[in-house]
Structure 1
């Protein structure tokens, strides 16, 4: 999540401001104060200065100055001396304020020693401590939010930020609320609602509103109705401000209500079968969604030039265009100056479409990059460390690896480690290269050669990662998974395995993949809906590719009326066959896929993010 950058900037900046505020020339003036500064402030002096002050005072002030000395030791990297002094002071902390101050410094030390769970423990002030200085609460909640976020606990981090808000200056409140929203927005509605608890009205308000905003709706009006119901339950919660502006803009836009739709597909030639599956999906949606007297005109992009097609569209007086499907045809169509609303069935990233009004231009595609991006986000949310990628050495593999890496680097400093494999015969060696066992074996052989004798040794796999993302078809994936199992060191923790939809194939035994998580469009997992049962009856031998093409056709017709209102309104989602659909500001239709886990050889358990 992007929110980690918030802390990376904030914490060092706060420290720098406190240091530079001490003196214009960077040297702190001589310590002469009788009363110590707050323990939440940066220790400006050496520990010896604070200890000298402790000798010059009496009563509770001794404890305060000595605790500042402990903090100064810790700040300056003298951790042993700081911890020793903290242990001594633990027995001297009698009042609630002294105990809380000791906890703050102990949490600071634990955090610097890379013990975040211990730091979190120290920052849990007893519930009866209601009379502490305000800056104690502010410091504790700031540290807790940072620690929870570093431990991938967004609910707890958000709750700490909510508790922090009363102690912030007004100019920081909006940024704090935005941070809360960013933390919770990636979570599913199911997970958000599972954390709602009695007595937590402010947190519950955020959780419920974001759950509502993440759910598919039929129209902005339906979302507005849900928002009004939410306001009645949580009248004082400020979270509504995050969606009201965009919702008002969406409500002002008119629905597309075309009467004549031209559909451009390859209905002959090499890609005729692909075009026919898309056509069947469109016709199924046309039948299921009664939209009055709408005319669909299917035009073959294979048997005629795009200029001729443009004349046909004009002659038919079409008021909306769906297609083309093939990238080459999309580029040709983009050169036409028809100025009609247009939904391309391929991405427009590298298409020069300046002849078309950008506000009327949309795209829906089954591009593999979508899966890679969502895999990087999901693995990050689940605490992946330095992920390993095993991908084919071809165009799709390189595109998915690039998309994964770019997404990962938005929130992490490290680069994923990418290993390319060159066909099925290279899979075992590719796994060895990925896990660095080849290098381990080479080092062992060099040592044996140097010593001139045989040694009892064991090849070791790398231990700097806890997860692997695999891009491979079903057969290759069922070879890769056992290769990983036998290559990883016996004493190493098992790696979490993630895969793309290419790893999934229905109708075969997938026991080798048990425990592996994959992305998939909901339609390919659906066996119970009327649409799924009808499809299975009509086309019992259809492949997953056939079903995917049918789904993009179905979704193209389903989403069409809502495109203008959905555009740029990120909280307006529509449930489609290819995923949960939303539309970006540039007209790209985003598909949120589902994550599923293999159990007993089948993708039966769909789990929430």
Structure 2
């Protein structure tokens, strides 16, 4: 009896012990597949190697098949065939790969996603990797990819935390220096509230020190006395911190130092010449904005004269006069040539908010460039098309300097965004019938040629309906209002069909007229908030201008908005010029300032429906 009970007791104990053992998943039990290395890979012929590995994958099964597919994907990537690499990677059953190859697949997937500017999918690919199991070198690779992905997604907190992880494993001085600069830039993108809330520790911990230092800079940069005390306190709390003072001193040196209670604002605008009407609208808006604000600051206007032939301007002497008269900030000039001349001034001691841009990307101390540059809108169209997932475009623009500048700005940005421009076609603004331009643009001539060829082959007549070119995601239209109202209907007549049409605000006069603008139906454009009455009516400056201005108010609405925003930007310049993540809602869009001192405008998107411009939500 004892033996019998002993047997069952032993069995139960054995079963219990067995049940407690961890069960290995099929993935963790996967053994490395033994595959051959093709000679073409060793000789650097990656395209050929990729094709050979892809063929070997077809003749194998299971783990070997998955391993060959991965090799093919890697070789396609090496040869620059990104799309083929992505297709091959998507076919792999990852559970059949051993641990090392799953790492390689994740890294490849992340690289492809980053190549496509897709931060979310890069992070998704890397999520399959367990960081704790990685060697130091592999961990560096993963963290660097994650940092790039977080940049694309705008997750600055996770980007900063990733750089903090890298800080602990990097060894060479150059890598540490670059990592700390990237860490600092990520922290500078965060708000003071976020820096305080997500500080990962307490003094004197190094990670905590980074967040605390950034908090001090962001919170007190407009108050030098308080900031000096805060930095001394930080140094006492984190005595051995590795942060290089040059990092945050550079941040402090940037930006304006306009007094809070400014008394004298100088405005540089022409009183005559070709820009006088634009200058008048801007001047009226500045005065209205100052009146609505209730500010006691004095506005002083200086006449800027520019010789049309020589390009010489009195802008520097007028700027110097404004400074001598006590100006705390300067708005203007308006003409591009005058802005370019003022940018060469050896001593811009008082901040300038110019109303136009130079052609270069140079950063000029105390010069901030604001305007309604059409190239900015072309860039915005390219970025918007990317957000919509479009890949291939065609462009229709007038054959003149204005049209070519906008088309060039679009195609350059579209290429940076990873898009392809299949064709750029130009039209003559003096014409009214654009069939000779639109037929080849839409590929209808090729469709006709294919029909004639097929008819000749078969020897009989066929039913025929021309088709536009395929593989196009949208058309970017560059036009002024009259030509836009002619071109959109003619595009539809020439088989544009459901092809999305995108354009800048230049196609729209700004004046609501459903009967006239019905020809613009389906066209999508970017434009400023003040173009939309339901939004603009909430702005007292808009109401003041509308009530006092002449009948041309609607047609000059964008210039009025520029003047209003120029004045409203003054009290915001200190913050915006130091913090690219800060913004203000303006009449011309959501405004921020980049590292080159350019005022960036984020506009609204709208579509014409029954002749009326409707916001896209």
Length-normalised TM-score, structure 2:
0.66
- Structure with larger RCO (C-alpha < 8 A, sep 6+): 1
Counterpart in 1 of 2:182?
none
Give 1:397 deviation, angstroms: 0.7
Counterpart in 2 of 1:575?
585
Quick one: which of 519, 526, 549 aligns to 2:559? 549
Alignment check: 8 A CA contact 1:575 1:581 kept: yes
Q: Distance in 1 between matches of 2:571 and 2:524?
A: 34
Counterpart in 1 of 2:221?
none
Counterpart in 1 of 2:470?
463
Q: Distance in 2 between matches of 1:475 and 1:409?
A: 29
Counterpart in 1 of 2:615?
605
User: Residue 526 of structure 2 aligns to a residue in which SS?
Assistant: strand
Quick one: which of 401, 408, 418 aligns to 2:414? 408
Counterpart in 2 of 1:275?
279
Structure 1 pair 565–160 and aligned structure 2 pair: CA distance change class (3 A) = same
Structure 1 pair 562–453 and aligned structure 2 pair: CA distance change class (3 A) = same
Q: Distance in 1 between matches of 2:407 and 2:602?
A: 19
Quick one: which of 37, 52, 57 aligns to 1:82? 57
Counterpart in 1 of 2:368?
362
Q: Distance in 2 between matches of 1:568 and 1:306?
A: 27
Q: Distance in 2 between matches of 1:242 and 1:413?
A: 40
Give deviations 1:411-470, integer Å, cap 9, x for gaps. Answer: 448445211110242433322121222344356567878999765544342213221111
Counterpart in 2 of 1:380?
386
User: Residue 461 of structure 1 aligns to a residue in which SS?
Assistant: coil
Quick one: which of 429, 436, 440 aligns to 1:429? 436
Structure 1 pair 429–301 and aligned structure 2 pair: CA distance change class (3 A) = same
Structure 1 pair 240–416 and aligned structure 2 pair: CA distance change class (3 A) = farther
Alignment check: 8 A CA contact 2:519 2:611 kept: yes
Alignment check: 8 A CA contact 1:255 1:565 kept: no
The 5 Å alignment of 1:51-66 reads none
Alignment check: 8 A CA contact 1:152 1:383 kept: no
Counterpart in 1 of 2:322?
313
Counterpart in 2 of 1:223?
191
Instruction: Note if 1:349 corresponds to 2:354.
Output: no
Q: Distance in 2 between matches of 1:595 and 1:585?
A: 26
Q: Which runs of 5+ in 1 are unaligned?
A: 1-35, 48-71, 186-191, 194-200, 207-219
Q: Distance in 1 between matches of 2:88 and 2:436?
A: 42
Quick one: which of 595, 604, 613 aligns to 1:585? 595
Quick one: which of 524, 528, 547 aligns to 1:517? 524
Alignment check: 8 A CA contact 1:246 1:569 kept: no
Give 1:242 deviation, angstroms: 14
Counterpart in 1 of 2:267?
263
Counterpart in 1 of 2:297?
294
Give 1:391 deviation, angstroms: 0.8
Q: How many residues align?
A: 499
Counterpart in 1 of 2:125?
160
The range that moved more, 385-394 or 372-381, is: 372-381
Counterpart in 1 of 2:499?
495
Q: Distance in 1 between matches of 2:116 and 2:158?
A: 23
Q: Distance in 2 between matches of 1:556 and 1:280?
A: 12
Counterpart in 2 of 1:10?
none
The 5 Å alignment of 1:32-111 reads 38-39=32-33, 43-45=36-38, 75-77=50-52, 79=54, 82-86=57-61, 89=62
Instruction: Note if 1:390 corresponds to 2:393.
Output: no
Quick one: which of 184, 206, 212 aligns to 2:153? 184
Alignment check: 8 A CA contact 2:72 2:85 kept: no
Q: Distance in 2 between matches of 1:140 and 1:239?
A: 34
Instruction: Note if 1:327 corresponds to 2:327.
Output: no
Q: Distance in 1 between matches of 2:359 and 2:567?
A: 22
Structure 1 pair 45–447 and aligned structure 2 pair: CA distance change class (3 A) = closer
Rg comparison, structure with higher value: 2
Alignment check: 8 A CA contact 1:73 1:79 kept: no
Alignment check: 8 A CA contact 1:260 1:320 kept: yes
User: Residue 358 of structure 1 aligns to a residue in which SS?
Assistant: coil
Q: Distance in 2 between matches of 1:146 and 1:371?
A: 30
Give 1:263 deviation, angstroms: 0.4
Q: Distance in 2 between matches of 1:243 and 1:416?
A: 46
Counterpart in 2 of 1:485?
492
Give deviations 1:234-253, integer Å, cap 9, x for gaps. Answer: x9999989987995555676
Alignment check: 8 A CA contact 1:460 1:489 kept: no
Q: Distance in 2 between matches of 1:77 and 1:221?
A: 47
Structure 1 pair 441–176 and aligned structure 2 pair: CA distance change class (3 A) = same
Alignment check: 8 A CA contact 2:288 2:544 kept: no
Q: Distance in 2 between matches of 1:79 and 1:488?
A: 41
Q: Distance in 1 between matches of 2:39 and 2:319?
A: 79
The range that moved more, 447-456 or 149-158, is: 447-456
Counterpart in 2 of 1:217?
none
Q: Distance in 1 between matches of 2:129 and 2:107?
A: 7
Give 1:507 deviation, angstroms: 1.3
Alignment check: 8 A CA contact 1:501 1:520 kept: yes
Q: Distance in 2 between matches of 1:409 and 1:243?
A: 35
Give deviations 1:193-245, integer Å, cap 9, x for gaps. Answer: 9xxxxxxx979x99xxxxxxxxxxxxx99921243235589x99999899879
Give 1:262 deviation, angstroms: 1.2
User: Residue 372 of structure 1 aligns to a residue in which SS?
Assistant: helix
Structure 1 pair 431–270 and aligned structure 2 pair: CA distance change class (3 A) = same
Q: Distance in 1 between matches of 2:552 and 2:276?
A: 15
RMSD: 4.9
User: Residue 297 of structure 1 aligns to a residue in which SS?
Assistant: strand
User: Residue 191 of structure 2 aligns to a residue in which SS?
Assistant: helix
Alignment check: 8 A CA contact 1:342 1:362 kept: yes
Structure 1 pair 474–237 and aligned structure 2 pair: CA distance change class (3 A) = farther
Give 1:264 deviation, angstroms: 1.0
Q: Distance in 2 between matches of 1:552 and 1:520?
A: 13
Structure 1 pair 161–375 and aligned structure 2 pair: CA distance change class (3 A) = farther
Give 1:171 deviation, angstroms: 2.9
